[in-house]
Amino acid sequence: MANKNVPEAVGRLRAALSHPAVPPLATAAAGLLGACYLWGTDPHRPGGWLPRCPFNWATGLLCPACGGTRMAYDLMHGDLVAAFHDNAALLTVGLPVAGYLSARWLWEGLRGRRYAPRLSTRGTVAVLATAVAWTVARNVL
C-alpha cells in the first residue's frame, strides 16, 4: 500500500530546493569543504594531490589565475605577504570582486530573490584586457 504523503513530501522538498538561497549556500558549503582540504595540503610543495594548472603544464607560462590556490592557502594561514607574492592581481582585484558578488548573491537569495550579475560588453572587454595584461606582465617582467 502506497503512502499518500510521499508526493506531498516530494513537493515540499522540491519547493525547498528551488529556493533562491540554495545555490549560494551550496556553493559556500562546497567552498568550505575545499578550504578544509586545502588547509592541510600545502600547494607550495611539489608532488601533492592538488593538480597543476593545465595552461602552465601545456605552455610553461603562468595564467592569470596561477598561484590562486597557493594564495588561498597563504591567506588561510595568515601570510598576506606570501599571498600577494603568489598572485597580486587576484588578491587585490579578483578576491574583492568575487567576495562582493558572492555576498550579494547570498543576500538576495536569503531575501527570496534570484541574482545573476550581468557584465556589459565593455565590462567583459575590461576583464579580458586585464587578464591578458596580467598574463603578459607576470610572464615577461
User: How far is residue 113 from each of residues 13, 18, 54, 98, 109, measured CA to CA in Å?
Assistant: 19, 11, 37, 19, 5
Q: What is the residue extent of each domain of the chain?
A: 51-141
Which cell goes with 121?
A: 560588453
pLDDT averaged over the chain? 91
Identify the weakest region by mean pLDDT among 4-13, 105-114, 127-136. Answer: 4-13
Taking only the tens place, the pLDDT of each residue in 44-63 is 888 878 888 899 999 999 99
Count of beta carbons in the 10 Å neighbourhood of residue 87: 24
Residues 6 or more apart whose CB falls under 8 angstroms from that of 26 comprise none
pLDDT at 27: 96
Taking only the tens place, the pLDDT of each residue in 5-18 is 767 777 787 877 88
For residues 51 and 39, is the Cβ–Cβ distance under 8 A?
no
C-alpha Rg value of the chain to the nearest Å: 20
